[in-house]
């Protein structure tokens, strides 16, 4: 009996030691991470995810009481955590082994598609309403302006979603736009893209549409404007990379299948000249092929997002007019199509321009204006107030 009690005591002691070792290891790991985060400068940009990372939030009584500080700090910690990329990949693979169909806001869809999951509660609806109202007011003030919103991949290619997967928010947004913006100035492309959903119109591993998807939207825009769109057959389609792994893949680091980026070119493209950011540098092409070897091959279009690109073309074959294209990154592969109809095209990204469009129009008077955004990126954008 005594031997049994001694054995039991030893067993209990061993269990306690193992537990204390485990707790100690966790404390050491967390302490090491905390020290590492403290000593390592915060990253401002993630090359893997191709986006800006959260900064350390300011601590104020108001932000703590509202819960805003806690939410922002949680995001900050998750984005600045040492070795985050490897942890994301490991967690996602474990999630998939357990049979889960979604991880880190990404659905593992059919045919190797990775599709973003959006829910109604993901959006700041006060910001959404402000953006829609500002845009509607701008359209009413400028009758020569139109708006084109690109649906997200998850809705345009809903047949690729796993069974019972749902997305929310975008339908409510489109309802607000339809109710507030002048109907004759809206260019709806949801049905246009749906009609081609069996084609390669969105990248499998990235949130952007492909150049083919942009072409079908260009056709709809050209018909709305009264132009004859350049037939697809007149373009020389050149695949420039077939190893593109995009932003959606970067969120999970597993699944998907490498994408192909293709450029649509014509023999007359040499007639174009490009001035970037009011004289910062010049170019003679829509494309910067050097970006194909860098961290973000999608930047092959215009070398990435630019504040302002002034595109000029010899007036032969154009209408002699000027187009102002106000866009997000979805406009980068759309602009080369639209520019073929104008003597001058001014491409503007509000995120990098620190003045309202009304002042920009004094410098660059435009005959036609097109606002082109992806729906979700527009909903989250905090620079739409510059549309005035």
Q: 203 or 64: whose pLDDT is higher?
A: 203
Per-residue pLDDT reduced to its tens digit, 36-85: 555 566 656 555 555 556 667 777 877 777 776 777 666 665 655 555 55
> What is the residue-averaged pLDDT of the chain?
86
Reduced to 3 states, what is the DSSP secondary structure of residue 344?
strand
**pLDDT value, residue 93:** 59
Q: Taking the domains of the chain in order of start, what are their residue ranges?
A: 35-82, 112-386
For 115: left if phi > 0, alpha if psi spans -120 to 50, otherwise beta; the answer is: beta
**pLDDT value, residue 19:** 65
Per-residue pLDDT reduced to its tens digit, 337-371: 999 999 999 999 999 999 999 999 999 999 999 99
**pLDDT value, residue 56:** 72
CA proximity to 29, closest of 40, 18, 37: 37
Instruction: Note whether 386 and 162 are within 8 A (CB).
Output: no
**pLDDT value, residue 4:** 46
Reduced to 3 states, what is the DSSP secondary structure of residue 26?
helix
Q: Tell me the pTM.
A: 0.81
Instruction: Note whether 151 and 353 are within 8 A (CB).
Output: no
């Amino acid at each position: 009996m005594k031997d049994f009690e001694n054995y039991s005591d030893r067993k209990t002691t061993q269990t306690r030691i193992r537990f204390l070792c485990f707790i100690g290891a966790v404390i050491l790991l967390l302490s090491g991470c905390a020290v590492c985060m403290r000593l390592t400068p915060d990253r401002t940009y993630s090359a893997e995810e191709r986006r800006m990372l959260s900064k350390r939030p300011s601590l104020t009584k108001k932000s703590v009481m509202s819960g805003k500080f806690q939410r922002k700090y949680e995001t900050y910690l998750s984005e600045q955590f040492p070795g985050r990329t490897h942890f994301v990949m490991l967690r996602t693979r474990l999630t998939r082994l357990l049979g889960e169909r979604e991880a880190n806001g990404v659905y593992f869809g059919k045919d190797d598609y990775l599709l973003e999951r959006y829910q109604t509660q993901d959006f700041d609806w006060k910001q959404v309403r402000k953006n829609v109202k500002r845009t509607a007011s701008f359209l009413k003030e400028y009758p020569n302006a139109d708006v084109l919103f690109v649906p997200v991949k998850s809705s345009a290619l809903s047949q690729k979603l796993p069974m019972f997967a749902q997305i929310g928010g975008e339908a409510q947004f489109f309802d607000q736009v339809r109710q507030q913006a002048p109907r004759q100035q809206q260019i709806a492309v949801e049905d246009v893209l749906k009609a081609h959903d069996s084609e390669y119109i969105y990248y499998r591993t990235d949130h952007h549409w492909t150049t083919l998807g942009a072409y079908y939207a260009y056709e709809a825009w050209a018909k709305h404007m009264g132009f004859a769109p350049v037939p697809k057959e007149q373009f020389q389609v050149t695949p420039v990379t077939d190893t593109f792994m995009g932003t959606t893949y970067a969120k999970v680091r597993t699944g998907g299948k490498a994408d192909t980026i293709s450029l649509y070119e014509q023999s007359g493209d040499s007639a174009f000249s490009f001035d970037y950011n009011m004289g910062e540098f010049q170019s003679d092409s829509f494309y910067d092929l050097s970006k194909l070897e860098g961290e973000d091959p999608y930047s092959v279009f215009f070398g990435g997002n630019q504040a302002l690109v002034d595109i000029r073309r010899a007036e032969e074959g154009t209408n002699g007019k000027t187009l102002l294209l106000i866009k997000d990154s979805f406009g980068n592969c759309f602009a080369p199509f639209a520019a073929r109809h104008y003597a001058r095209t001014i491409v503007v990204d509000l995120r990098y321009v620190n003045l309202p469009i009304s002042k920009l129009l004094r410098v660059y008077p435009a005959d036609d204006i097109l606002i082109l955004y992806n729906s979700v990126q527009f909903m989250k954008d905090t620079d739409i107030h510059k549309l005035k």
